[in-house]
Amino acid sequence: MVILSSHVKNEVLEWRRSFVNINDSINLAACSQGALLKSVKKAFSKYQADQIEFGNPWDIWQQKVEELRSLIGKLINASKNEIAILPSVSASFSSLLSSIDFCKNDQIITTDLEYPTTNFISLAQKYRGVETVTVRNKNGIVSSSDYESNITDKTRLGTVIHVSSRNGTKFDLKEFTDILHQHGSYAYVDAYQSLGVLPVNVKNLNIDFLSSGTLKWLLGASGTAFLYAREEVAEKLHPTDIGWFSQQDPFQFGTEKLQYADGALRFQSGTWSVPSIYASIEGIKKILEIGQNKITRRIETLTSIVFDELTKNGFTVNTPESPENRGGIIAFEVSNPMKIEKLLRDKYKIFTSARGINLRISPHFYNTEEEVLKTMDALVEIRNKSL
């Protein structure tokens, strides 16, 4: 039985008031889509209201993009100039790779715990003569020594996923970025499964490039992601996967020359998904309002309960046991993950996320201990009754 102090309980209940219909279901799928904030719902309406009132309010839309860049900068300790807004993590990474002046036989080092988009985009560079080296995990973990032993003098860029979508394993970013830099390579981080769960300070971690979307733990919406590019590095790069918002003056009709915008803006593409930007601003504001350290502690409490209950009930958990080595995802084996995800949703109104051989439970700050325990009861019932 989980005993909560009344102070913590009241605080969680207060947080829950910010969400739409939070008591009608149990949302443990933040690794896929966070719960809906009332402010996010309102932001979508505001987008429509602005269109009705002002027709084509590009000036307001631009202000929203700028506001989002500032908020993301605050979230990861970067300057606004180091943030580009793009429609997806895939688009961000593609634009980044297009800017690296690879020579024939240069290498990218990656791992098999990355999100597949990172592997696909890296592998596609073979048409530019680039080889991708994929370091395989051993028992769900890629050690920094295995990673380092695969780096050669041809390695130009290494990718590190902060928290793996596949099994919830957390990488020690500083260890990996230091190794990459010692070998003269750029370090790219996919933080889609960690931002909103764990504080990330790009300066302390010495990260060159980082990308994330806002859909999951940042409580935003699909269609908005960003690329952080360290200012000194960005200025030297000339991406070819671009659009009009990558240039100093996007309105240069008939232009015969390129003039890249300053800093990270050079990685931008065309028109953003503006309704999603309105929404994403509100999601990030909520994360900053509650405080990243507080959220980390809360998620750690909940994931520890999930881990202990799953183990007690005989499930095979594929996420590392130590909270030090994981983020907000607990991945465990069930007979048919897609079927169980659907059953939990349709019969119990519990939202989880299937991935490969695993079902993933990913609690956020708004979840309660009672919700976690109810989910365990449902899982045990499904297994015992062979539903």
Handedness of CA 196, 281, 34, 19 (dihedral sign): positive
Q: Residue 88, interface with ligand PLP (CB under 6 A)?
A: yes
Q: Which is nearer to ligand PLP, 121 or 378 (CB)?
A: 121
Give residues 152-171 in contact with ligand PLP (rule: CB under 6 A).
161, 165
Instruction: Verify binding: residue 190, ligand PLP, rule CB under 6 A.
Output: yes
| Burial status of residue 224 (CB atoms within 10 A of its CB: 0-12, 13-18, 19 or more) | buried
**What tokens were used for 47?**
């987008």
Considering only residues 193-222, where is the footprint of ligand PLP by CB under 6 A? 193, 213
Q: Which of 115, 147, 217, 307: binder of ligand PLP (CB under 6 A)? A: 115
Q: Which residues have CB under 8 Å from 152's CB, separation 6+?
A: 107
Scanning 34-42, 84-92, 94-102, 124-132 for contacts with ligand PLP by CB under 6 A, the matching segment is 84-92
Query: Which phi and psi angles does 163 have, rounded to 5°?
Result: -130, 125
**Binding residue for ligand PLP (CB under 6 A) from 176, 186, 188, 192?**
192
Q: In the Cβ-directed half-sphere of 70, how many Cα atoms lie within 13 Å?
A: 8
Please pick, from the candidates 28, 40, 83, 89, the single residue that binds ligand PLP as defined by CB under 6 A: 89
- In whole angstroms, the minimum distance from the beta carbon of 14 to ligand PLP comes to 29
Q: Which is nearer to ligand PLP, 245 or 260 (CB)?
A: 245
Total residues binding ligand PLP (CB under 6 A): 12
**Looking only at residues 237 through 266 of this chain, which bind ligand PLP when binding is defined by CB under 6 A?**
none
Q: ∠ CA(18), CA(19), CA(21), 5° rounding?
A: 135
Q: Which is nearer to ligand PLP, 109 or 378 (CB)?
A: 109
CA pair distance 55, 161, nearest whole angstrom: 41
For tokens 């300790």, the residue is: 77
Q: Which is nearer to ligand PLP, 348 or 360 (CB)?
A: 360
In whole angstroms, how close is the CB of 188 to ligand PLP at the nearest point?
12
Among 198, 221, 225, 305, binds ligand PLP (CB under 6 A): 225
In this structure, is the dihedral angle defined by the CA atoms of residues 215, 220, 225 and 229, taken in order, positive or negative? negative
Structure tokens at 116: 């597949």
Closest separation between CB of residue 31 and ligand PLP, Å? 7
CB atoms within 10 A of CB 289: 9
Cβ closest to ligand PLP, residue 171 vs residue 366: 171
Task: Please compute Rg for the chain using Cα positions.
Answer: 21
Stretch that binds ligand PLP, among 144-152, 167-175, 189-197, 297-305 (CB under 6 A): 189-197
The nearest distance, CB 373 to ligand PLP, in angstroms, is 27
Q: Which whole-number Å values give the CA distances from 73 to 77, 81, 232, 334, in the listed order?
A: 5, 9, 16, 39
319 binds ligand PLP (CB under 6 A): no
Q: Residue 373's closest CA among 295, 312, 325? A: 312
Decide if residue 122 touches ligand PLP (CB under 6 A). Answer: no
Q: Is 272 among the residues that bind ligand PLP (CB under 6 A)?
A: no
**From the CB of 212, what's the least distance to ligand PLP, in Å?**
8
195 within 8 A of 170, measured Cβ to Cβ: no
Report, in Å, the least distance between residue 348 CB and ligand PLP.
24
d(CA 224, CA 221): 7
Residues 6+ apart with CB under 8 A from 269: 86, 87, 91, 95, 241, 242, 243, 245, 246
Stretch that binds ligand PLP, among 73-81, 86-94, 241-249, 322-330 (CB under 6 A): 86-94
> Binding residue for ligand PLP (CB under 6 A) from 110, 117, 292, 368?
117
Residue 100 vs 161, nearer CB to ligand PLP: 161
Binding site for ligand PLP (CB under 6 A): 88-90, 115, 117, 161, 165, 190, 192-193, 213, 225
